[in-house]
Amino acid sequence: MKILVANLGSTSFKYRLFDMASETQLARGGIDRIGQDADSTCVAEVGDHKLQEVKRIPDHAAAVRMCLDQLTNPQTGCLKSVDEVAAIGFKAVFAGRLSGIRRVDAELLSTMEALADVAPAHNPPYAKAMRQLMASFPEIPLVAALETAFHETIRPEYRTYAVPYEWTENFEVRRWGFHGASHRFIGSRMAQLLGRDDAKIISCHLGGSSSVCAIEGGESRSTSMGMTPQSGLPQNNRVGDFDPFALRLLKRLTGKDYDTLLNDLASKGGLQGMSGVSPDLRDIEQAADAGNARADLAIRVYAADIKKYIGQYLAVLNGADAIVFTGGIGENSTRIRSLVCENMTYAGIELDPAKNVPVKSDTNLSAAGSKVQIWSVPTNEEIVVARQTVKVVEG
């Protein structure tokens, strides 16, 4: 069975094609500048072939068609026909109570659109693209693997906000959690690496978007993101945890309305807002090395918040077998890993400085005497979505 896994942005489309009989990646690629008044670049890696094509792409349906044309090319493709694609799986973000893994239908799409306030950067482009694909490829099943699904095992006391209870019941205001595919992969991969199914793992998915998750026996027990992806840790340009009552003061002092202030928090906050340099941690670290005090503060705030969540989850799990760093920052920023793990020997957490280098494979970074193992593990959200898509297609 061949599964195409799609990762959508408002103007981008990235994909991986898997042969699920052996869970082998057959191809990967992507297109940028979709729907813009500019040419798009479609790149693909199919086996040993590297392909590139430049043309105007009006929408996501045209982008998928272009990719499928490359994949079915008689000379360089890996498919004989589009009919070999059993389904397209999406790492969708939020649909409230319509969580889990499900076929894309009118109910799911209308719900995602109605809840765009929760995930304004994610829900609208996904819903729009899914509608286009349903119309253009009615013969290919579409499957949504909601990011919230992995966190359905969290107990109510760790999901419920202290708000008027009818908000929870009637308006679905609760800690939903996100990055489910990544944390699910880390939970299963660490079970293999540690050789046990009951392991207690603290998974730190750190990148442009970041979250921490407490995992026990492969199931989520608590996670840092709450009702929206704007909460929890500071993100690249999103605020993270924030006192909402500060908005009343800001409204009076700046003259901005609430929608404008919320947009500022969601687009001008986080690492970019603190540093004044960039939303990219690599740029911020470079600026800090050059003596930029705000850049240094942004790094220290980010690492301190990660450390605080690790402390919480040591309490939730009653200890941990391993702390895992994943994502672009988690795998590559030796500075963040060092700051997060320093002064944690009271909890049996000790990083080996000699091992703390950028890595591209599963690597144990623990010092010899560390009671809690420290790992860097590359995540693979796409294979998780592919596996979930197969289950839905097979019924």
Report which secondary-structure segment, H or E, holds 326.
strand 322-326
Which residue from 275, 261, 257 is spatially nearest to 230, judged by alpha carbons?
261
Residue 332 assigned to a binding site: yes
71 in a labelled binding site: no
Q: Residue 225 is encoded by which pair of tokens?
A: 């993101």
How many CB atoms within 10 Å of residue 247?
Answer: 15
Pairing relation of β-strands 85-90 and 142-145? Answer: parallel
The response to whether 284 counts as a known ligand-binding position is: no
Q: Residue 328 to residues 91, 189, 298, 359: CA-CA distances in angstroms?
A: 18, 18, 17, 11
- 342 in a labelled binding site: no
Is position 330 annotated in a ligand binding site?
yes
Rounded to whole angstroms, the Cα distance separating 119 from 123 reads: 6
Cα distance between residue 250 and residue 271, in whole Å: 20
Instruction: Tell whether 280 is in a known binding site.
Output: yes
Q: Are 2 and 78 in contact (CB under 8 A)?
A: no
Residue 328, annotated as binding a ligand = yes
Q: Which two tokens stand for residue 102?
A: 């499900």
Task: Match 């500071």 to its residue by tokens.
Answer: 234
Q: Are 203 and 193 in contact (CB under 8 A)?
A: no
How far is 345 from 37, CA to CA, in rounded Å? 55
**The CA-based dihedral angle spanning residues 232, 235, 238, 242, taken in that order and rounded to the nearest 10 degrees:** 30
Note whether 228 and 214 are within 8 A (CB). Answer: no
The answer to whether the annotation marks 7 as part of a ligand binding site is yes
Residues 6 or more apart whose CB falls under 8 angstroms from that of 262 comprise 247
3-state secondary structure of 70: helix
263 in a known ligand binding site: no
Three-state DSSP class for 231?
coil
Binding residues: 7, 14, 280-282, 328-332, 381
Binding residues for Mg(2+): 7, 381
| Binding positions for ATP | 14, 280-282, 328-332
